[in-house]
Every structure is written in structure tokens, then in C-alpha cells.
């Protein structure tokens, strides 16, 4: 705005002097028209910027705009969500999203909370249990007492974090801002030079040409070239299901780097299923009994596999974190757990362990100190994993598996997906994952990207240059993530990388246009071929051109985030508690 303000002040001052001295042209009408043209250009420019922001604001449409409130007399009425207050009672029907955070006061249903928690299966919800805005009521109508609505809801807090993070400026944006500052100083010097060159010939022309130079070289186009393209990229990525929290993410992903990727739930489906059973068939019912109260994925796999069995009664059931479960059934001591855990309590563990494929997680069953059965549970590789990883490697990315799973299991997955042995890090704790990411960041100048879905990935994602949370991820990992994929699978990673590269090309094109435009404008003004009014038309036209170039430029639109899916992989992988 500084060159424009100086141009207007100079025109007004020159017109005032000529009015008092009754000599030379009066600039007041020209200044008025100049202001009109400038404001018209600003209006069109802001219209384009507003359209760029609309896509990002679509994030806030995740919660419904209205709610059904139950009055004290039992009458149901519909009100805007913004009118909800703590203590109000609302009814949410089956298939509707909850408009506010609250507690169920009447009814029982299942709630799909994948938006907030990453849990892919609906959760049973009864009276007295909390529900959150944006989650989906799947099964039956319920009444809810509102505890937080609008900006106070859990969903709004998460989206506010995304919105605040989106204000982070990419290094290229900061560079453009610094360049604009230097550019203004150069323009002021050139305006003085132009005035000095033309003053001996014609004082009126000197004023006209200097003012024209100040107007035509407004750095608006240069200042808009980068942030507007980034804003459009972030908004269009959101429309395709890729949520990016800041422009720096786009700049980092536009060039190849180190990609460290979690295995369980990221490269694999994250669903455990019983694949193999060796040994005593009668032990299945015993396993079902002991695993009935466990929340571990392996227990869930057993429960689904043995759903038709009738479990016997058990006594003295004890859960050992990271090991297994022990209990007494019909007077027999039963142990179910990992080979190491069972080997410390029974004989024959090593021989039974060898019966289970290395790609599966082994679980042994011992009765009265002797192993009688072995089970292998697995997790299938995602259909799109191989195609997506191949595409990323072709684009120059170095890929590494960073998993907390058993080395043999992670190795089998890595081999199926084209990883070399030195590109597989297994058995990693959350701290080890963090250290692995930090070491790669310290080792080179290539961006380091961590992709994961669990709480154990959150620290590593926070340390990485870019942390990416995948669909179905835990809320802790999503909070630490710089970007979030709402589409299942890792094919959206390819779309994110390609979209970031295209966005950076738009930025470079905008900057080149702004510099060429200003070079031409300065030349015309200094040579005397440009009047202030023509300059006033050119200036907003240049800004509008940058706006339209960013608006129409191809970045993430048209991206198929499901493209590249390979045929279904028969490989199954094991599940460890640390994975």
C-alpha cells in the first residue's frame, strides 16, 4: 500500500499547488478516478480470495446446522445449533449427527465416532455415556443433555486447531513477503529517478510519470502470488478428503524426501483375524472364555472366530499386560498368550511356535503346564499399498517401515511391499520411533515424513518435518499430524505429493508473472508511455490475474485418492501389542 499511498498523496499535493498558483493541471478528478479503479480492483481481488477460503471453511460443516430441542413441557422444536446452551435436552434420530457434546439421558444406540477417535466400528452407547458433536447416531433415537455446543464442542476445538495451524506460513510465503519489502524500496528509488529525469523537460510530465510508476508497480501481485496459491491448495485438498494444516506442509511435500511409515493400521488393515489353528480343538472354548473380557485386538479376533462356541465358566482370570491371560477352567490351569509368556509357564512352547507361519502373530494355549494348541492371527496388507509405495518411489521418495511389530512379521510385510531388509525397522517403541525420525532429520536436508495411525506414532509424527495421520487413526495421532487422510488406504499419499508439486508450480508461475509485469510497468513508466490512469487500470488487473491464476490453477482438484489400488494381497501379517 505504500507506493499507492505516496502516488495518491503526490497527485493530491500537486493538484492543490496548481489550484493555489492557478497554473498547470488539476489532479483532483484523476485522483478520484484512480481511487475508484483501485477500490474496484481490491473488491474483485477479495472476492477471489474469499472463494479460495470457502473450501477450507467446509470443514466446519461436519456438525449439523440445526437441532431438535425438547422443551420442559415435552414439545419438540427445531433450533439453530448456535442457539444450543448447556443443560438443554435434545433428541437425535437414527442416521443423524449429534449437534453438540452431551450425555445420553434416554435410549440406547450405537455411535460412529470415527471422525474423532478413529474407531472404525460403531460403539455401543447407553444412558449416562458421553457423545460428541459431529459423530453419527447409527442405530436408534436418543435423548441427550447438552454440555457443550458450538465453539465449545470437542469437534470445534479440533477444527480450531486445524484453522490456526493453517495460518502457518510456508518458507516460500515468508520469502515472498521479504521480497515485497525490498521491492517497495526499489520502487521508491526508481520513482525518484523517474521524477528527476523528466523534471528538466516538463514538470507536469515528471509528476505524471513518477505517479504512474508508483501505481503500476504496487507489489500486490507479488504479495498475493504465494499465499493465495497455498490457500487454494489447502482448500482443494480438503475437498478431496486431504486435510492439510499449513502451507509449509505443501512446500515440504513438493520435493522428494524420507518417508517413514507405520505398519499396523497403515500398511495393513489393522483388523485381526484367526488364520491358523493347530492342536486340540476343545481348547478353543477355553480360549474364548479367557479372552471374553479383553479389549486387545487378538482377543477380538478370537471372539469373532469362535462366536458359535459356548464358553465354559472360568475362575481366577488374570490379565498380564503384554503377555497373555491365565485362569482356571473346570479345575485346569489354562494359559493363553505369546510364546515367551507361555514358555515361562508350560513345556513344549518352542515346538508349537514353529507350526505357525512367520507372517502371523503366534498365540499358544497351555493346559496344566503343557502346550496343547497354537494359533496364528494375521492382519491383511491394504490393497493399494504396493501400488502407492511404487508410485512414491518412482517420484524419488525413500521409503522405510517403522513398526513396533515383531521383526519377522514386519519383515514379511516389507518383503511383500518391496522393502529391502535395511529399510525395515521393527520392534520399535514410541521412543525408538521418535529417535529414528529425529536421526533422519539431523542427517540431511531432505524432508522427513512420518505416516501413522496410532497413539504410539504421535510422538514420531510430532518430531518429523511432516506428520501424516491416516484414515481411522487415533485422535492423539491426528492432533500431532500436519495432514490427515480421510480416505482409507495410503493411495491418498500419492495424491498429496502430486498436488503439492502442482501447487508449487502455480506459485512459481505466479511469482514469475508478478516480476515480469512489474519489469514491464517500470519500463513503460520511466520511458513516459504510461499515464497514472492507465497504471491504475493495470495495477488491479495484475492482482486479479494472479488471483485468477491461483483460482484456476490445477493443484488438488480432480485427484482420485483411491487410484492406484492393486489387486487384493493374500499376505497376512501378525499383530503385536506394540504395533
Q: List beta partners, residue 91.
A: 68, 143
Spell out the residues 6+ positions from residue 100 whose beta carbon is closer than 8 angstroms to its own: 63, 67, 81, 84, 90, 133, 144, 146, 147, 148, 149, 150, 153
Catalytic (active site) residue 262: yes
DSSP state of 139: S
With b for 16 or more beta-carbon neighbours within 10 A and e for fewer, the 435-466 pattern comes to: ebbeebbeeeebbbbbbbbbebbbbbbbbbbb
Q: How far is CA 557 from the centre of its chain?
A: 16
Question: How far is residue 292's CA from residue 287's CA, in Å, rounded to a whole number?
Answer: 8
Lookup result for grid cell 474469499: 50
Give the three-class secondary structure for 375.
strand
Question: How far is residue 387's CA from residue 47's CA, in Å, rounded to a whole number?
Answer: 41
Spell out the residues 6+ positions from residue 507 whose beta carbon is closer than 8 angstroms to its own: 172, 225, 226, 229, 230
Selection from 213, 205, 192 nearest residue 523 by Cα = 213
Question: How far is residue 459's CA from residue 437's CA, in Å, rounded to a whole number?
Answer: 10
CA distances from 515 to 46, 170, 224, 315 (A): 21, 20, 12, 79
Give the DSSP H/E element, type plus range, for residue 360. none
Give ∠ CA 161-164-166 in degrees, rounded to 5. Answer: 105
The pairing of strands 448-452 and 466-469 is: parallel
Selection from 182, 208, 203, 204 nearest residue 526 by Cα = 208
CA distances from 568 to 65, 244, 247, 359, 565 (A): 40, 29, 35, 17, 9
Length of the chain: 579
Question: How far is residue 173's CA from residue 229's CA, in Å, rounded to a whole number?
Answer: 10
Spell out the residues 6+ positions from residue 1 whose beta carbon is closer than 8 angstroms to its own: 218
Give me the torsion for CA of 296, 298, 299, 302, rounded to 10°.
Answer: 160
Question: How far is residue 302's CA from residue 377's CA, in Å, rounded to a whole number?
Answer: 9
Which residue out of 262, 383, 465, 482 is catalytically annotated? 262
Among all residues, which ones are annotated catalytic?
A: 262
Amino acid at each position: 500500500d505504500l507506493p499507492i499511498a505516496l502516488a495518491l498523496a503526490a497527485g493530491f499535493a500537486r493538484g492543490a499547488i496548481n489550484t493555489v498558483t492557478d497554473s498547470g493541471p488539476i489532479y483532483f478528478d484523476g485522483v478520484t478516478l484512480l481511487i475508484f479503479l483501485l477500490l474496484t480492483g481490491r473488491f474483485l481481488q477479495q472476492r477471489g480470495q474469499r472463494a479460495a477460503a470457502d473450501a477450507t471453511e467446509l470443514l466446519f460443516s461436519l456438525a449439523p446446522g440445526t437441532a431438535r430441542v425438547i422443551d420442559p413441557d415435552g414439545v419438540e422444536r427445531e433450533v439453530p445449533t448456535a442457539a444450543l446452551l448447556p443443560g438443554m435436552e435434545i433428541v437425535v434420530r437414527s442416521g443423524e449427527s449429534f449437534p453438540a457434546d452431551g450425555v445420553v439421558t434416554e435410549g440406547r444406540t450405537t455411535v460412529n465416532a470415527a471422525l474423532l477417535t478413529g474407531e472404525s466400528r460403531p460403539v455401543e452407547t447407553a444412558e449416562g455415556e458421553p457423545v460428541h458433536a459431529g459423530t453419527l447416531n447409527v442405530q436408534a433415537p436418543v435423548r441427550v443433555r447438552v454440555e457443550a455446543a458450538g465453539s465449545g464442542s470437542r469437534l470445534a476445538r479440533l477444527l480450531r486447531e486445524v484453522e490456526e495451524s493453517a495460518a502457518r506460513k510456508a518458507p516460500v510465503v515468508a520469502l515472498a513477503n521479504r521480497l515485497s519489502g525490498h521491492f517497495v524500496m526499489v520502487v521508491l528509488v526508481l520513482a525518484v529517478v523517474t521524477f528527476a529525469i523528466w523534471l528538466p523537460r516538463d514538470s507536469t510530465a515528471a509528476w505524471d510519470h513518477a505517479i504512474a510508476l508508483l501505481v503500476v508497480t504496487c507489489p500486490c501481485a507479488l504479495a498475493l502470488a504465494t499465499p493465495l496459491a497455498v490457500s487454494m491448495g489447502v482448500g482443494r485438498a480438503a475437498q478431496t478428503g486431504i486435510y492439510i494444516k499449513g502451507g509449509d506442509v505443501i512446500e515440504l511435500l513438493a520435493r522428494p524426501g524420507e518417508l517413514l511409515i507405520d505398519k499396523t493400521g497403515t500398511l495393513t488393515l489393522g483388523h485381526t483375524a484367526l488364520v491358523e489353528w493347530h492342536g486340540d480343538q476343545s481348547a478353543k472354548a477355553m480360549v474364548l472364555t479367557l479372552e471374553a473380557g479383553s479389549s486387545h485386538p487378538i482377543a477380538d479376533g478370537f471372539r469373532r472366530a469362535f462366536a458359535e462356541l459356548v464358553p465354559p465358566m472360568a475362575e481366577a482370570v488374570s490379565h498380564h499386560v503384554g503377555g497373555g491371560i491365565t485362569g482356571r477352567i473346570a479345575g485346569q490351569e489354562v494359559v493363553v498368550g505369546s510364546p515367551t509368556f507361555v514358555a515361562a509357564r508350560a513345556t513344549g512352547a518352542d515346538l508349537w511356535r514353529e507350526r505357525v507361519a512367520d507372517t502371523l502373530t503366534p498365540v499358544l494355549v497351555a493346559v496344566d503346564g503343557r502346550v496343547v494348541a497354537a494359533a496364528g492371527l494375521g492382519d491383511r496388507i491394504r490393497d493399494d499399498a504396493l501400488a502407492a509405495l511404487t508410485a512414491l518411489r518412482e517420484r524419488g521418495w525413500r521409503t522405510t517401515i517403522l513398526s513396533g511389530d515383531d521383526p519377522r512379521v514386519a519383515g514379511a510385510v516389507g518383503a511383500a511391499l518391496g522393502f529391502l531388509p535395511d529399510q525395515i525397522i521393527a520392534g520399535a517403541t514410541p521412543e525408538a520411533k521418535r529417535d529414528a525420525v529425529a536421526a533422519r532429520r539431523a542427517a540431511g536436508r531432505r524432508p522427513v515424513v512420518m505416516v501413522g495411525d496410532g497413539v504410539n506414532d504421535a510422538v514420531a509424527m510430532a518430531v518429523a518435518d511432516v506428520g501424516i495421520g491416516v484414515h481411522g487413526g487415533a485422535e492423539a495421532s491426528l492432533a500431532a499430524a500436519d495432514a490427515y487422510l480421510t480416505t482409507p488406504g495410503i493411495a491418498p499419499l500419492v495424491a498429496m505429493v502430486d498436488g503439492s508439486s502442482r501447487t508449487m508450480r502455480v506459485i512459481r508461475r505466479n511469482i514469475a508473472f508478478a516480476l515480469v509485469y512489474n519489469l514491464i510497468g517500470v519500463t513503460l513508466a520511466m520511458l513516459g508511455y504510461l499515464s497514472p490512469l492507465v497504471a491504475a487500470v493495470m495495477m488491479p488487473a495484475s492482482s486479479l490475474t494472479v488471483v485468477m491464476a491461483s483460482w484456476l490453477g490445477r493443484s488438488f482438484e480432480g485427484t482420485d485418492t483411491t487410484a492406484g489400488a492393486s489387486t487384493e494381497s493374500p499376505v497376512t501379517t501378525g499383530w503385536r501389542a506394540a504395533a
